[in-house]
Structure 1
Amino acid sequence: MSHRKIIHLDMDCFFAAVEMRDNPALRHIPLAIGGSRSERGVIATCNYPARAFGVRSAMPTHEALKRCPHLTLMRGSMDKYKAVSQQIQSIFRRYTEHVEPLSLDEAYLDVTDCKQFKASATLIAADIRRTVLAETGLTVSAGVAPNKFLAKIASDEQKPDGLFVIPPEAINDFVLQLALRKIPGVGVKTAEKLAKLGFHFCRDICQPGEEISTERLALLSRHFGSFAATLIKRSQGIDERPVRQDRERKSIGVEQTLPNDIADLEQAEQEMLQLLPTLEQRLAQSGKAALLQKIGVKLKFSDFRQTTVETQCHRLDPRLLAQLLAQAWQRRQEHSVRLIGIQLGFKSACHEQLPLPLEGTTF
């Protein structure tokens, strides 16, 4: 049986790592890139000394400061991070043209047809890591596996600055002990729901290579809808998705954390309308106005719950956005609102095809 060779590369605490590289005095102190002490905001990323105090990405700044009062906060420079990201992506493309960037600091590579290093994906990943460090001064963790799902899981196994390989013959043993919460798409609430149903590990859903029972399939479908099919496949280590060089952007949006919580719908609508010019500009720059399929409004409440209301629509309609805002507003449960966002979703410009079988050699 032939297997693809996929590498997932994930820069270690990327924004913070760039700042530590440029200023060595920051290397051994808790550091976070995010909002200032005097303003509301969230942590974009943090270094490992900060993580030792429980600071995490996407954590509200005030919570991060509560856990680590001596945390050093920096605004950061997106232009600088983008420039470094372009340098890193150019390194990836020396090895293969099949590169799918996921963000500034993360990408999939399909090296199935690469002949370098005796066609060994493991040796290719090791050389990429050496090259990135030598040319940028930054470390990158890598996962090597026969598909994207397992490669992404693998890249997190030896973080930071690590390399982890899941060869084809090790897939079954690996997924048997894999916690379901590690599957991309399984958030905290989904993991809790799975646990209540008695599902904690992939082996609890389906044994590799075995047919899932009709009763279990019905149970998962009833509780998780279309995501049940993904859960079943991932629990067996299956992921047919190809590495897409032309990865489509499926949505764009803009959001604002408010200086002060608000509890008045009319004020919320005014705040939302102030986001429109930015969203209109991003829509024009995307060149995808003809593919617009849905619009939505996002709210985050003072208790940090968040909700999104969206509907089918083929143009950016302020009146419809106001209606969606009113619907989302009903979910406040008497809490005030701390963040407002608006977003657009696009239909696909092309039909995705399943990958063809590929020849494999040394893994």
Structure 2
Amino acid sequence: MDMDNPDSKRKAPRRKRDIRVILHFDLDCFYAQCIENANPHLKLVPLGIKQKSILATCNYVARSHGVRKLMGIHEAKRLCPDLVLADGEDLSPFRDVSKKIYSLLKSYSWNGRVERLGLDEVFLDVTDVVAYNLELLNHHCLEQSWFCLSREDPERGFGFDASAVAGCSWPLDDPDPISKDDDDDDDDDDALRLRLRLLLGSHLAFYLRQQIEHLGYTSACGIATNKLLAKLAGDKNKPQNQTTLLSSHSPASFLDPLPLSKIPGIGSKTITALKNLLKTDNDDNLTVRAARTNPAVSPAALERLLAGGGERGIGQRIWLLLHGIDTGEVKPARDVPRQISIEDTYRGLASLSHIREGLVQITASLLRRMHVDLVEDDSTEHVTTSSVSSTSSPAPPAATTTGAGKKGRRRWTAQPKTLRLTTRPYYPPSERDRYEYNHGRVSKSVALPRFVFDLGAETEVIVDRLVEGTLLPLFHALNPDSKRLSIGLLNVCVTNMDGGNDGGGGGDIVAAFRRQKEVEEVRAVAYGCLSDHDHDEEEDGDVVEEEAEESDMEEAEWVEEEDEQDGMRCRLCGCVIPFFAAEAHGRWHEVGEG
């Protein structure tokens, strides 16, 4: 689209037919279900999960009394005096359940495209599974169809009725999706096959929801042709239900009644900017239709309104979302997470003793989660470093196994190389309107000390050593004025995983690119470029454990973003550059971009 051509500004985006089948699973009031399964007597009483002074979530019995998630404890108890409160501060049991459900869904994927969103949501791209079963469909006996879950074993699967969609569909008055009497676009063979794909996807979703129920958890599911529509479709008939968004209808009619705040990818900053552009303060008037059809809203106008900090193309991205177009792929499943992060919020920590106490609690929780996600039983015989050839490249320190006398051996499946501390000031309620939520948020990264990987050491010893020797010096570097402390957030994160499987498959060239990525990230960490915010600056090596070699990339700033799987985004020009080409791109800036 030509942003400078006025005739193109209001033109609806050309819609390329998306033949994917995406499932979005959302576990019903997940924290509450975890507590109820551990305490079955709580299933019939109003239950709320408390984190600090608010409800992280509540079960549907509590919601029938007017209680809602993120509500203050005092208000919730006023509405429902019989509300039972359970502690939700320790997320470990919730993560364990989330991991089991994620592993279950992943076991049914053929292409490995399984993406977890938070602890209670999972996307699956089942296009290949559905396409395979579409070819097996017997149109003369739809009511007694068989869904194959394995190419190798035709008996592994389930029977289903292919004459209708499983669960709910949108719109409600849609005709039978495979009827030959469909008119308009439905007479087109491609449209009919796509509707059949979605029908098959609905039955696969229903089957997978049943498998999740066998673990004791109910869920909602959305079935559509992209992630945006699948997530929104799943919200239509919560809880314990599913909705298929049939592709023969324009997504605009589905999206138009929704408030902008419901659209993933459109955050509070975008909504505030659109309110100013549309000259309205009424949230009820700020629907997708109001923004999509307003003459003042166009890709070019959105770009001028929202672009900042080198981010380009945001206007076009928001414009596409308003039309229900989302080209984002379901990210391939990973054997290990990209990062592990623990944070907590506070009402103004003002003393170093309280800050140390907070860091100890967070770090202990982080270490426990690292052991859950990154440590496994080692069935292979331990290999000593003496068996490694002296001519090979230096390898990372071998994972430490448990000492003698402990049952079995354990090993690290991946070892993070970077430790990051993030803090944010506390703002009293009277001042919060003056600041955005993340105002004043700053971060610093250093190399993660190797003693963290000693599986034979006591957890308390590792935590104390990490807090005293690394995190407190980081904190002082981020907050040098110790007499005026008022900390509202602490976050400790480990990232830059060394080892494990990216889940993307591939051969040696992919591994080579991955190694190149690691090299560039280490350089960026050493020079303070790998940070969450442009204003984060590394001090002169005060807290970095090792001196880095001189880098050729000093002139160009880089930031790694989780959404950019194939490269790093250059802060100077906004382009996403493959990891192997980052150094050359930096030199291109140095010589004048010519």
TM-score (norm 2): 0.48
Quickly say closer, same or farther: Cα 1:347–1:84, change in 2 above 3 A: closer
Query: Does the 8 Å contact 1:140/1:161 carry over to 2?
Result: yes
Distance (Å, rounded) in 1 between the aligned partners of 2:216 and 2:266: 33
Residue type matched to 1:290 in 2? K
* Equivalent position SS for 2:417: helix
Distance (Å, rounded) in 1 between the aligned partners of 2:83 and 2:55: 11
Shift of 1:345: 7.3
Q: Give the alignment partner of residue 169 of structure 1, picking from 245, 248, 272.
A: 248
Q: Give the alignment partner of residue 10 of structure 1, picking from 14, 26, 32.
A: 26
Quickly say closer, same or farther: Cα 1:276–1:156, change in 2 above 3 A: closer
Quickly say closer, same or farther: Cα 1:50–1:232, change in 2 above 3 A: same
Quickly say closer, same or farther: Cα 1:70–1:137, change in 2 above 3 A: same
Distance (Å, rounded) in 1 between the aligned partners of 2:72 and 2:480: 26
Q: Does 1:122 align with 2:135?
A: no
Distance (Å, rounded) in 1 between the aligned partners of 2:426 and 2:75: 16
Residue type matched to 1:30 in 2? P
Where in structure 2 are the equivalents of 1:262-281 lying within 5 Å? 262=348, 264=350, 266=352, 269-271=355-357, 273-274=359-360, 277-278=363-364, 281=367
Query: Does the 8 Å contact 1:295/1:345 carry over to 2?
Result: no
Q: Give the alignment partner of residue 442 of structure 2, picking from 261, 286, 310.
A: 310
Where in structure 2 are the equivalents of 1:39-58 lying within 5 Å? 40-58=52-70
Distance (Å, rounded) in 1 between the aligned partners of 2:96 and 2:339: 23
Q: Does 1:108 align with 2:123?
A: yes
Where in structure 2 are the equivalents of 1:85-234 lying within 5 Å? 85-97=98-110, 98-114=113-129, 115-116=132-133, 117=147, 120-133=200-213, 135-170=214-249, 171-188=251-268, 190-198=270-278, 200-206=286-292, 212=298, 214-221=300-307, 227-234=314-321
Shift of 1:242: 1.6
Q: Does 1:253 align with 2:380?
A: no
Query: Does the 8 Å contact 1:142/1:164 carry over to 2?
Result: yes
Shift of 1:6: 0.3
Residue type matched to 2:324 in 1? G
Query: Does the 8 Å contact 1:144/1:165 carry over to 2?
Result: yes
Residue type matched to 2:424 in 1? K
Write out per-residue CA displacement over residues 175-208 of structure 1, whole angstroms, 9 at most, x where no aligned residue: 333321112244456534433332823344446x
Shift of 1:328: 12
Quickly say closer, same or farther: Cα 1:177–1:60, change in 2 above 3 A: closer
Residue type matched to 1:14 in 2? F
* Equivalent position SS for 1:55: coil
Q: Report the more deviating stretch, 269-278 or 107-116.
A: 269-278
CA RMSD in angstroms comes to: 4.0
Residue type matched to 1:145 in 2? A
Query: Does the 8 Å contact 2:19/2:225 carry over to 1?
Result: yes
Count of residue pairs brought into register by the alignment: 338
TM-score (norm 1): 0.74
Distance (Å, rounded) in 2 between the aligned partners of 1:324 and 1:189: 26
Structure exhibiting the larger radius of gyration computed from Cα positions:
2
* Equivalent position SS for 2:441: strand
Identity %: 28
Query: Does the 8 Å contact 1:144/1:155 carry over to 2?
Result: yes
Quickly say closer, same or farther: Cα 1:233–1:48, change in 2 above 3 A: same
Where in structure 2 are the equivalents of 1:237-248 lying within 5 Å? 237-246=324-333
Query: Does the 8 Å contact 2:300/2:315 carry over to 1?
Result: no
Residue type matched to 1:27 in 2? K
Q: Give the alignment partner of residue 325 of structure 1, picking from 468, 479, 484.
A: 479
Shift of 1:284: 7.2
Distance (Å, rounded) in 1 between the aligned partners of 2:259 and 2:290: 10
Gaps of 5+ in 2: 1-16, 134-146, 148-161, 163-196, 281-285, 375-413, 448-469, 498-513, 518-563, 568-594
Q: Does 1:61 align with 2:73?
A: yes
Q: 1:343 maps to what in 2?
A: 492
Shift of 1:166: 1.7
Q: 1:361 maps to what in 2?
A: none
Query: Does the 8 Å contact 1:3/1:168 carry over to 2?
Result: no
Q: 1:70 maps to what in 2?
A: 82
Whose RCO is larger (CA < 8 A, sep 6+)? Answer: 1
Shift of 1:27: 3.1
Quickly say closer, same or farther: Cα 1:10–1:235, change in 2 above 3 A: same
Write out per-residue CA displacement over residues 22-81 of structure 1, whole angstroms, 9 at most, x where no aligned residue: 65543343211225xxxx444332112323445343444344334433210123685654
Residue type matched to 2:342 in 1? V
Shift of 1:122: 1.5
